[in-house]
Chains A and B, each alone.
Chain A
Amino acid sequence: MTTCGALRDSLHREVDALEDVQRLVLDDHLAGCARCRGDRERLLAVHRIGAALPVPADARTHQRAIARALLEGPSTRFAPAPRSRRALIPLALAGAGAILLAAVLVLRPGDGELAAPLAIAPPAPPPATVVDAAPADAPSLADDVVEDGELAHDGVAVTTVPARQTLRAMRATQLRLAGARVIVAASSELRWVPEERTVLLERGRLDITNGANGIARVVAGRVDVEVGDADVTVEPTGVRVTRGAVAIREGARVVRLEAGGAASFEAPARPTPQPQGPPVAELLAVARTRFAAKDLAGAERAAAAALAARPSRADAAAARMLLADIAQASGALDRAVAHYTAVFTELAGLPAAESALYATARVELRRTRTAAARALLARYLDRHPAGRYTDDVRRQLAALPKE
């Protein structure tokens, strides 16, 4: 009888993938070898299960991956699979050098700050429109407009922009939204919610020339700008008004900004770290323990201390999430929203950002701010089409009253 080893490479193959002779030899062997029979069943199961794995990536996922790869470039330089550990030594040394250099740059005072309070800056000259900065070979965009969700070219509608669809401007682009002229800086990402006349600016910059019945709100990061009859430039890090007036809301605070005024969200000078202070992980552990024991004040002190102690991005997200949960438990929903928002805007690449975005929507639902909740839920679906809360989010969106 043939040995088990001689048939090893045939065990995982389906019968119809074997030649007649192979099949006969295999059948002969399997009839007298229970171990190989079992292994064949297992390997066939491996083949079938692996081949039937669902692929959670549709055309939208492909498009997003392509767009990000094209825009953001390579994350790591491709090299052939490493052949030996010795070959990696120069790379490891180069990597260590790069990390050291990055650490020196990052740890310079004033860089890399976390969320900072709203700061009002003195009036500044109006910015140049970004169309001027478009590359020389870019076609003129003056006649390309999105009219209330419809993209037109030379006055002829060419395609429809579905509501709540995130658009990324590959170059400086002029749109028309609800009658307002909007110049979108290159690499900006935005979403238009027509029924609320709201622009959600994910990143980048908008120069808006607005009328009284134009855009109602621009939400950029933590900043929520109520735009009236005004000309305004909005970025996640600041707002500048060149005509009229706007109201800026950040958490519970509302600031009115007149023409010529600017508000920035730049970070303040970094507080001197306490070298002898307890490590961030320890502070977070204390905060969690206190929170579990319903000592909200103690938990908040520990979490705030962790946040002030130069945490890593992951620890900063953990501290913010804790502070938000504590604020929710205390009934301070504005503060909770501010912390959650900081996580999903400033720490967007981290897993906590998904939870933070969902939690913000839940808070807005809790205080029956339907429009804000709807916008946040839509934003969640857009960012996480197959996320942990996608099904819940869809259900909640469907349950919201129509406007």
Chain B
Amino acid sequence: MPASLHALGLVALAAPRDERPATPAATVAPDVVEGCRRGDRASLEAVFRAHAAGLSRLLVRLVGPVADVEDLLQDTFANAIASFPTFRGEASVKTWLYRVAIHVAHQHLRRPRHRREVDLPDADAIAAPEVRSGEDPAQRELGERLYAHLDALDAAKRIALVLYVIEGHTIDEIAALTRASKAATRSRIFWARRALLRRLRRDPAFGGAR
């Protein structure tokens, strides 16, 4: 009888690159959802695997390129495990998991050690940053500058703005994802966009003048 590592009680924590599993479809069968509610390990793992890539992308966009995505992802899954018994199925599992991830990102952004003084050098006087293979250094630099500006914003406003401008969600969707009213969401986006544009207008890397 064939058996997998998992069936034998072992979890491979570092799968070799050439054995990466393909991302499965993000649809969740009702019995799997029921399994998740009961805390069934296999069901939870199946759901998490299906949504891990999308959640990672969302977390990176919300918190920026320097955060430890793995920790945030773990926190998202851990929170989801604790909360699955209360999942009523009114939203899709994907939407629900995205809500959890947004909450985790919000908590992360509110931590004092996350926030830092933003002191950007001149755009043309920046030393070549450390580059990872396959990354465009200029793009990476712009990303870091953008998120340094976003770090100066209030966490809830920043999340609303990122969901609106970068993720492309509508006001209604953002209100549902962040459990805020539409008016509050609209207000957050307004103030965040205004604050961000003020900063970008002074940043030469974004066509601004000092």
Contacts and interface: CB of A to CB of B under 8 A. Distances in A.
Interface of A: 8, 12, 17, 38-39, 41-43, 45-47, 49-70, 72-81, 138-139, 141, 144, 151, 153-154, 156, 158-159, 161-162, 165-173, 186, 189, 382, 385-386, 391
B14 A385 contact: yes
A153 B1 contact: yes
29 contacts: A12-B164, A38-B207, A46-B146, A50-B165, A50-B166, A56-B65, A56-B69, A57-B52, A62-B48, A62-B52, A62-B73, A63-B12, A66-B77, A67-B13, A69-B77, A69-B81, A75-B74, A76-B75, A77-B83, A79-B103, A80-B103, A81-B103, A81-B178, A81-B180, A153-B8, A158-B4, A161-B12, A167-B11, A382-B14
Interface in B1-56: 1-17, 20-21, 23, 41, 44-45, 48-49, 52-53, 56
Contact of A42 (B83, B164, B207): B207
B79 A59 contact: no
Interface in B125-153: 132-135, 139-140, 142-143, 146
A7 to B, nearest CB: 12
A55 B60 contact: yes
Contacts of B139: 49, 52
Contacts of A138: 9
8 tightest Cβ-Cβ pairs between the two chains A and B: A50-B166, A69-B77, A78-B79, A62-B52, A74-B82, A65-B73, A59-B20, A57-B56
Contact of A53 (B20, B61, B168): B61
Q: Which among A12, A59, A69 has the greatest number of chain B C-beta atoms within 10 A?
A: A69
Contacts of B9: 138, 141, 169-173, 186
Interface string B58-99: 001100110001110111111111110000000000000000
A46 B168 CA distance: 12
Contacts of A80: 103, 179
A51 B11 contact: no
A22 to B, nearest CB: 14
Given A49-B143, A54-B65, A382-B14, A141 B57 contact: no
B156 A61 contact: no
A141 B100 CA distance: 37
Contact of A59 (B1, B21, B57, B140): B21
Given A46-B196, A63-B15, A158-B3, 8 more contacts: A45-B206, A50-B166, A54-B140, A66-B49, A67-B11, A78-B79, A170-B9, A391-B132
B104 to A, nearest CB: 8
Contact of B53 (A62, A69, A189): A62
Interface residues of B, number: 79
A64 to B, nearest CB: 5
Contact of B79 (A55, A64, A77): A77
Interface of B: 1-17, 20-21, 23, 41, 44-45, 48-49, 52-53, 56-57, 60-61, 64-65, 69-71, 73-83, 100, 102-103, 106-107, 132-135, 139-140, 142-143, 146, 156, 162, 164-166, 168, 178-180, 190, 193, 196-197, 200-201, 206-208
Given A62-B49, A78-B82, A42 B70 contact: no
Contacts of A144: 3, 8
A169 B74 CA distance: 19
Contacts of B156: 81
A54 B82 contact: no
Given A53-B143, A167-B12, A66 B52 contact: yes
Contact of B69 (A60, A61, A69): A61
B190 A8 contact: yes
A187 B79 CA distance: 21
Contacts of A63: 11-13, 15, 49
A64 B20 contact: no
Q: Which among A17, A68, A72, A171 has the greatest number of chain B C-beta atoms within 10 A?
A: A68
A141 B178 CA distance: 47
A52 B83 CA distance: 31
B172 to A, nearest CB: 13
A79 B133 CA distance: 39
A166 B14 contact: yes
A75 B73 CA distance: 12
B49 A161 contact: no
Contact of B41 (A12, A54, A70): A70
A156 B107 CA distance: 48
Contacts of A151: 5, 8, 10
B1 A61 contact: no
B83 to A, nearest CB: 4
A352 B196 CA distance: 34
Contact of B10 (A47, A62, A170): A170
Contact of B81 (A49, A73, A141, A391): A73
B73 A57 contact: yes
Contact of B207 (A41, A59, A72): A41
B69 A161 contact: no
B120 to A, nearest CB: 15
Q: Which among B4, B14, B44 has the greatest number of chain A C-beta atoms within 10 A?
A: B14
B107 A76 contact: yes
A169 B7 CA distance: 11
B165 A46 contact: yes
B27 to A, nearest CB: 18
A4 to B, nearest CB: 11
Given A64-B13, A76-B75, A54 B135 contact: yes
B53 A159 contact: no
A189 B10 CA distance: 9
